[in-house]
Amino acid sequence: MTKLNHKPNTKQANVCPPLQKDASGLDKLVYWLGIGLGSGKPKQAPGTWGSLAGLLVALPLMMLGFVTFLAITVLANVIGIWICNKTSHLMGVHDDPHIVWDEWTGIWIALLPYAYYMGSRNFYTVTNLPVLLIILANTFVLFRIFDIFKPFPIGYLDKKVSGGLGIMLDDMLAGAIVAIIMLFCLTFVVAVGLN
């Protein structure tokens, strides 16, 4: 088994580790998914760029309906354990900040309450644009706060669990916490008729 290098200092700009030129087609696909279709390549704040890309990809997926979006989110998280582990090995670095598949799927978890809300109502006639933008912005900002600062138990799991599961788990938990917060916010929005 290959020994992986430690995660680089995320407080400074880092170059995304390149894929070896002789990589197989499957390795290229996994690497590309791991770096969020390129959204994780920026030298600075790759997690933020990856989260933003994940949010943008989620918008059309949510329009497929709640059950479909939930199934895609669960599947993406399960497969993400393997994708992140494999990408980590391809890069030679455990949990490199340029691996952003976990940010994609973490923000999808955070968006589940809104996807449910969209599915239970006619999205185009019920939600007004300013409310939609505020909800999406709040979800994004809260997810980034929990993902960056990693309060307990997120930080604990980030340090104690290794491999692909360790890469994914902190973002899954950050997404779940934000989903709970947004569920209360959406309940309030509907209760007072702001939608």
pLDDT, block means (10 residues), the chain with 195 residues: 58 83 96 98 96 97 94 99 97 93 99 87 61 91 97 92 95 98 90 76
Predicted pLDDT at 112: 97
DSSP 8-state code for residue 4: P
- pLDDT tens-digit map of 40-68: 999 999 999 999 999 999 999 998 999 99
Copy the structure tokens of residue 164: 């692909």
Distance, in Å, from the CA atom of 172 to the CA atom of 79, rounded to the nearest integer, reads 13
Residues 6+ apart with CB under 8 A from 190: 117
Domains of the chain, residue spans: 25-191
Cβ–Cβ under 8 Å, residues 99 and 110: no
67-85: b (≥16 Cβ within 10 Å) or e: eebbebbeebbeebbebbb
Cβ–Cβ under 8 Å, residues 84 and 167: yes
Closest to 171 measured CA to CA, from 139, 193, 146: 146
Q: What is the pTM of this model?
A: 0.91
